[in-house]
Structure 1
Amino acid sequence: MKYRIQNAFTSSLLRTFSALPYELVARAGEALGSLLYLIPGKRKHILHTNLRLCFPEKTVRQREELARSTFRHVIRSYFERGIQWYGSAKALTRLVKLESAIELKDNYEQPTIFLGFHFTAIEAGCMYYSILHPVASVYTPMSNQSTEDISREQRGRFGTEMIARNGSAREILNVLKSGKPIMLAADMDFGLRDSVFVPFFGVQACTLTAVSRLARLAGARVVPFITGVSPGYVGYKLSIFKPFDNFPCGDPTADALRMNQFLEAQVRLAPEQYYWVHRRFKRRPAGEAAIY
Structure 2
Amino acid sequence: MKKKIQSTLTAGLLRTLALLPYGLVARLGETLGSLLYSLPSKRKRILHTNLRLCFPEKQPEEREALARSTFRHVIRSYFERGIQWYGSASQIRRLVQLESAIELQDSYEQPTIFMGFHFAAIEATCMYYSIMHPVASIYTPMSDTVTETISRTQRSRFGTEMISRHGSAREILRVLKSGKPIMLAADMDFGLRDSVFVPFFGIQACTLTAVSRLAQLSGARVVPFVAEVVPGYKGYKLHIFEALDNFPSGDVHADALCMNQFLEARIRLTPDQYYWVHRRFKRRPEGEPSVY
TM-score (norm 2): 0.99
Instruction: Write out per-residue CA displacement over residues 30-51 of structure 1, whole angstroms, 9 at most, x where no aligned residue.
Output: 0000000000010000000000
CA contact (8 A) 1:119 1:275 kept: yes
Structure-2 residue corresponding to 1:73: 73
Give the secondary structure class of the aligned counterpart of 2:108. coil
The structural deviation recorded for 1:6 is 1.8
Contact 1:197 1:285 in 2 (8 A): yes
Residues 214-243 of structure 1 show CA distances to partners (whole Å, capped at 9, x for unaligned) of 000000000000010000001000000000
Amino acid at match of 1:188: M
Residue equivalent to 1:39: 39
The answer to whether the aligner puts 1:245 opposite 2:245 as a matched pair is yes
**Deviation, structure 1 residue 71:** 0.2
**1:128 Cα offset (Å):** 0.2
Q: Distance in 2 between the 1:153 and 1:113 partners?
A: 22
Query: What is the 5 A alignment of 1:89-108?
Result: 89-105=89-105, 108=108
- On the 8 A contact 2:6/2:146 being kept in 1, the answer is no
CA distance in 2, matches of 1:30, 1:186: 27
Equivalence for 1:30: 30
Question: How many Å separate the matches in 1 of 2:146 and 2:45?
Answer: 28
Identity of aligned residues (%): 77
User: Structure 1: which 5+ runs fail to align?
Assistant: none
Please name the residue that 2:259 is paired with.
259
Aligned residues: 292
| Residue 106 (structure 1) shift | 8.2
CA distance in 2, matches of 1:207, 1:222: 16
Partner AA of 1:221 in structure 2: R
8 Å Cα contact 1:18/1:82 also seen in 2 = yes
Superposition misfits of 4+ residues, deviation over 2 angstroms: 1-4
Q: Aligned ranges for residues 122-141 of structure 1 at < 5 Å?
A: 122-141=122-141
Q: Distance in 2 between matches of 1:207 and 1:34?
A: 31
**Letter aligned with residue 149 of structure 2:** D
Query: How far is 1:107 from its partner?
Result: 5.5
Q: Specify the alignment match of 1:228 in structure 2.
A: 228
- For 1:48, the equivalent position in structure 2 comes to 48
Letter of the aligned partner of 1:139 in structure 2? Answer: Y
Once residues 109 and 6 of structure 1 are traced to their aligned partners in structure 2, the CA distance between those partners, rounded to angstroms, is 43
Q: Distance in 2 between matches of 1:233 and 1:144?
A: 30
Does the Cα contact within 8 Å between 1:173 and 1:214 map onto a contact in 2?
Answer: yes
Task: State the 1:7 CA deviation.
Answer: 2.1
- Whichever residue aligns with residue 84 of structure 2, its letter is Q
| CA distance in structure 2 between the partners assigned to 1:43 and 1:196 by the alignment | 25
Contact 1:106–1:134, Cα closer than 8 Å, also in 2 = no
Kindly state the Cα deviation for residue 254 of structure 1 after the two structures are TM-superposed. Answer: 0.2
| Shift of residue 145, structure 1, vs aligned partner | 2.1
Answer yes or no: is the 8 Å Cα contact 2:200–2:260 preserved in 1: yes
Instruction: Look up the SS of the partner of 1:137 in the other structure.
Output: strand
- Stretch of structure 1 that moved more, 266-275 or 2-11: 2-11
RMSD of equivalent CA atoms: 0.8
